């Protein structure tokens, strides 16, 4: 069971608008708005965000009716690029192959493609490097309208961000000779909160909109499960698959109707859920059930366990909050 607090979402967006001032806010809503529901989230942000960013043409089409600029962050094939160009979505050009795909799509239908150029400032994932920029400039033609230049931070320390920003600004300095009005953006949530130095023309905020990155933000998604069984066990009893947990004492196991099929990864064993106001440890996770050591806590069938909300965050070193938001249903 999940609950989405749209009031918290709006407050988070306004918090970023306040700290950004005149800098544009791009709401990153890829992967179904981090598991929060793409269309509903976008419709609540339409008056606050300056534009949206998604991962695919399909996602862009889902929120097309909201009439906002939409950046598609991932490279698209020719079929999807054709659809994107027709509807005026902004495509990412991250390589010469991607650029050729977008150019061909635009030429086929006689509509200039709106493009943001992706720079690889150090993450080694997508983007042009500085030494490719001269060839890039020479490969652009009237089918391409470069409206933006962007990159992505891989870390959240000042040292890491400064290193990447320096490289990005070097690339921007070269490209601005050709595209003086291009919107430049590199900051994600962490960098937006770290320093205004990284804001540039626009900031892309994803995780922060959903309540993470600062104590000033409000978690938007809450996830709950129901107790479907209560089992009294004795010291030495095995709990769950593989005998990985053996009861060290007589205790009570609460069985919840949530498991890895619902996005609760098995590596979250050891995290805590809250039942009747008490944090209780997860000792085993199955496909559709999770076993919690309730100890002396009074737990009954039909009680509700809080798996994720403003007071409960079960993320750990192996399962980060991004994964929880995207996967937990």
**pLDDT tens for each residue of 68-124:** 999 999 999 999 999 999 999 999 999 999 999 999 999 999 999 999 999 999 999
The answer to whether residues 9 and 136 belong to one domain is yes
The pLDDT value recorded for residue 222 is: 97
The pLDDT value recorded for residue 284 is: 97
SS3 45: helix
The answer to whether residues 21 and 143 belong to one domain is yes
**pLDDT tens for each residue of 145-158:** 999 999 999 998 99
Mean pLDDT, all residues of the chain:
97
Number of domains in the chain: 2
The answer to whether residues 68 and 204 belong to one domain is yes
* Residue 269 falls inside a structural domain: yes
Chain centroid to CA 218? 16
Quick one: which of 254, 250, 286, 246 has its CA closest to 272? 254
Does 329 score more than 90 pLDDT? no
pLDDT band at 200 (very low <50, low <70, confident <90, very high): very high
> Which residue among 179, 210, 241 closes a domain?
210
Question: Which structure tokens are listed for 262?
Answer: 């619902």
The answer to whether residues 155 and 80 belong to one domain is yes
The answer to whether residues 235 and 191 belong to one domain is no
| Alpha-carbon gap, residue 304 to 274, rounded angstroms | 8
**Stretch 207-222: mean pLDDT:** 97
* Residue 145 falls inside a structural domain: yes
Residue 48: give the domain boundaries: 2-210
Residue 298 CB-density burial (10 A; 0-12 exposed, 13-18 middle, 19+ buried): exposed
- CATH at residue 287: 2.40.37.10
Largest CA distance in the chain: 75
* Residue 149 falls inside a structural domain: yes
> Which residue among 210, 237, 268 closes a domain?
210
| Helix (H), strand (E) counts: the chain | 10, 17
Percentage above 70 pLDDT, the chain: 100
> Which residue among 175, 210, 245 closes a domain?
210
- CATH at residue 206: 3.20.20.10
The answer to whether residues 260 and 188 belong to one domain is no
Chain centroid to CA 40? 16
The answer to whether residues 168 and 203 belong to one domain is yes
**Stretch 286-292: mean pLDDT:** 98
Does 184 score more than 90 pLDDT? yes
The answer to whether residues 248 and 195 belong to one domain is no
Q: What is the model's pTM?
A: 0.94
């Amino acid at each position: 069971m999940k609950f989405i607090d749209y009031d918290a979402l709006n407050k988070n967006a306004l918090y970023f608008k306040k700290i950004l001032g005149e800098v544009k806010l791009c709401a990153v809503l890829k992967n179904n708005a981090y598991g929060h529901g793409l269309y509903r989230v976008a419709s609540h942000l339409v008056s606050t965000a300056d534009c949206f960013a998604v991962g695919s043409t399909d996602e862009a089409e889902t929120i097309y009716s909201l009439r906002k600029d939409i950046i598609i962050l991932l490279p698209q094939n020719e079929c999807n690029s054709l659809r994107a160009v027709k509807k005026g979505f902004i495509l990412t050009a991250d390589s010469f192959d991607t650029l050729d795909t977008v150019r061909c799509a635009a030429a086929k239908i006689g509509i200039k493609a709106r493009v943001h150029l992706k720079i690889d400032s150090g993450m080694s994932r997508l983007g042009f490097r500085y030494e490719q920029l001269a060839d890039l400039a020479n490969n652009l033609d009237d089918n391409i309208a470069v409206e933006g230049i962007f990159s992505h931070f891989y870390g959240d320390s000042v040292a890491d961000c400064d290193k990447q920003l320096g490289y990005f600004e070097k690339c921007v300095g070269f490209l601005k000779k050709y595209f003086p009005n291009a919107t430049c953006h590199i900051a994600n949530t962490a960098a937006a909160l770290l320093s205004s130095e990284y804001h540039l023309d626009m900031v892309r905020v994803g995780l922060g909109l959903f309540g993470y990155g600062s104590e000033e933000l409000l978690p938007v998604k809450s996830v709950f499960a129901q107790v479907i069984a209560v089992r009294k066990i004795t010291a030495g009893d095995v709990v769950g698959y593989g005998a990985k947990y053996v009861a060290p004492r007589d205790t009570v196991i609460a069985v919840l109707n949530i498991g890895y099929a619902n996005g609760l990864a098995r590596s979250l064993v050891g995290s805590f859920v809250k039942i009747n106001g008490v944090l209780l440890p997860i000792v085993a996770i199955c496909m559709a059930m999770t076993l919690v050591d309730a100890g002396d806590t009074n737990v009954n069938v039909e009680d509700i366990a809080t798996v994720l909300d403003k007071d409960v965050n079960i993320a750990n070193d192996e399962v980060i909050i991004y994964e929880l938001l995207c996967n937990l249903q």
